[in-house]
Structure 1
Amino acid sequence: MSDPLRVVVAGAGRFGELHVRAWQEAGARVVGVVDVDAGRAEAVARRWGVARYGTGLSAVRSAEGVDVVVVASDESSHSALTDGAIDAGCDVFVEKPFALSAAAAERTAAAARAAGREIVVGHISRFAQPYRYLRSALHDGMLGTLWATRLHRDFSRSWFADFGDRVHPVWESCIHDIDLAVFFHAEPAARVFATESRAAGDAAPSVISAIVEFASGATSTIQSAWTVPLRGPQSLAGLLALDGTIDGEAQLIGSLGTARQRLIGDALTVWTDDASLTPDLSLWPEEDGRVGGALRAEIAYASAVFRRERANSIMPVDQAVWGVAIAEAVVASSATGEPVSL
Structure 2
Amino acid sequence: MTVPTVVVAGVGRFGALHARVWAEAGARLVGLVDPDTARLTEMAQAHRVDETDNALAPLLDRVRPDVVVIASDEASHVGLAVTALESGCHVFVEKPLALSSTDAWRIADTAAAHRRQVVAGHISRFTAPMARMRAGIEGGAVGTLCALRLRRDFSRAWYLSFGDRVHPVWESCIHDIDLAISFVRTPVRRVVAMCSGAAGAAAPSVVSALLEFDNGVTATVESAWLVPATAPGTLDDGPLTLDGAIVGEVEVLGLAGMFKQRLVSDALVEWTGAGVQVPDMSLWPEEDGVVGGALRREVGYALAVFAGRRDPDLMPVEEACWGVAAAEAVVESLRTGLPVEPARR
With normalisation by structure 1, the TM-score equals 0.95
Q: Is the 8 A contact 1:79 1:104 kept in 2?
A: yes
C-alpha change, 1:204 and 1:36, in structure 2 (3 Å) is farther
Residue 264 of structure 1 deviates from its aligned partner by 4.2
Match of 1:38 in 2: 37
Residue correspondence of structure 1 range 1-342 to structure 2 within 5 A: 3-61=2-60, 65-197=64-196, 199-200=198-199, 202-203=201-202, 205-236=204-235, 237-266=237-266, 275-342=275-342
1 CA distance for matches of 2:265 and 2:18?
28
**How far does the alpha carbon of each residue in 1:139-198 deviate from its partner, in whole angstroms, 9 at most, with x for none?**
111111110000000000011110121000000111100100101111001100000135
In structure 2, distance between residues paired with 1:244 and 1:54: 33
Confirm or deny: 8 A CA contact 1:8 1:32 kept in the other structure. yes
Pair 1:148–1:55, CA change in 2 (3 A): same
- Partner-residue secondary structure (3-state), 1:212: strand
**Counterparts of 2:230 and 2:220 in 1: how far apart (Å)?**
28
CA contact (8 A) 2:265 2:280 kept: no
Q: Is the 8 A contact 1:7 1:68 kept in 2?
A: yes
1:62 Cα shift?
Answer: 5.5
Deviation at 1:57, TM superposition (A): 1.2
Q: Distance in 2 between matches of 1:306 and 1:82?
A: 15
Give the 3-state SS of the residue equivalent to 1:205 in structure 2.
helix
Contact 1:192–1:341 under 8 Å retained in 2: yes
User: Mean alpha-carbon deviation: is it higher for 276-285 or for 62-71?
Assistant: 62-71
AA aligned to 1:90 is C
Distance in 2 of aligned mates of 1:288 and 1:265: 21
Q: Quote the Cα distance in structure 2 between the aligned partners of 1:123 and 1:310.
A: 18
Q: C-alpha separation between the residues in 1 aligned to 2:73 and 2:171?
A: 10
Q: What is the identity, as a one-letter code, of the residue corresponding to 1:296? A: R
Q: Distance in 2 between matches of 1:71 and 1:266?
A: 32
Contact persistence 1:199–1:205 (CA under 8 A): no
CA RMSD of superposed structures (Å):
1.6
| Counterpart residue identity of residue 232, structure 1 | A
Is the 8 Å Cα contact of residues 165 and 204 (structure 1) preserved in structure 2?
Answer: no
Does the CA contact (< 8 Å) of 1:6 and 1:67 recur in 2? Answer: yes
Q: CA deviation at 1:64?
A: 5.3
Deviations 1:4-53 (A, max 9, x none): 11100000101101111111111111100110111111211111111111
CA distance in 1, matches of 2:225, 2:197: 10
Structure 2, unpaired ranges of 5+: none
Q: Once the 2 structures are TM-superposed, how far is the Cα of residue 204 of structure 1 from its aligned partner?
A: 5.9
- Aligned partners of 1:169 and 1:204 also within 8 Å: no
Name the amino acid aligned to 2:125: R
Q: Per-residue CA shift, 1:289-339, capped at 9, x if unaligned?
A: 111111111111000100111110000000000000000000000111000
One-letter code aligned to 1:293: G
Alpha-carbon distance in 2 for matches of 1:279, 1:252: 25
Amino acid at match of 1:142: A
Query: How many Å separate the matches in 2 of 1:310 and 1:264?
Result: 29
- TM-score, scaled relative to structure 2: 0.94
Cα deviation for residue 59 of structure 1 reads: 3.7
**More helix by proportion, 1 or 2?**
2
Distance 1:227 1:246 in 2: 10
What are the Cα deviations for residues 48-99 of structure 1, in whole angstroms up to 9, with x where unaligned? 1111111111342365521110000011111111011111111100000000
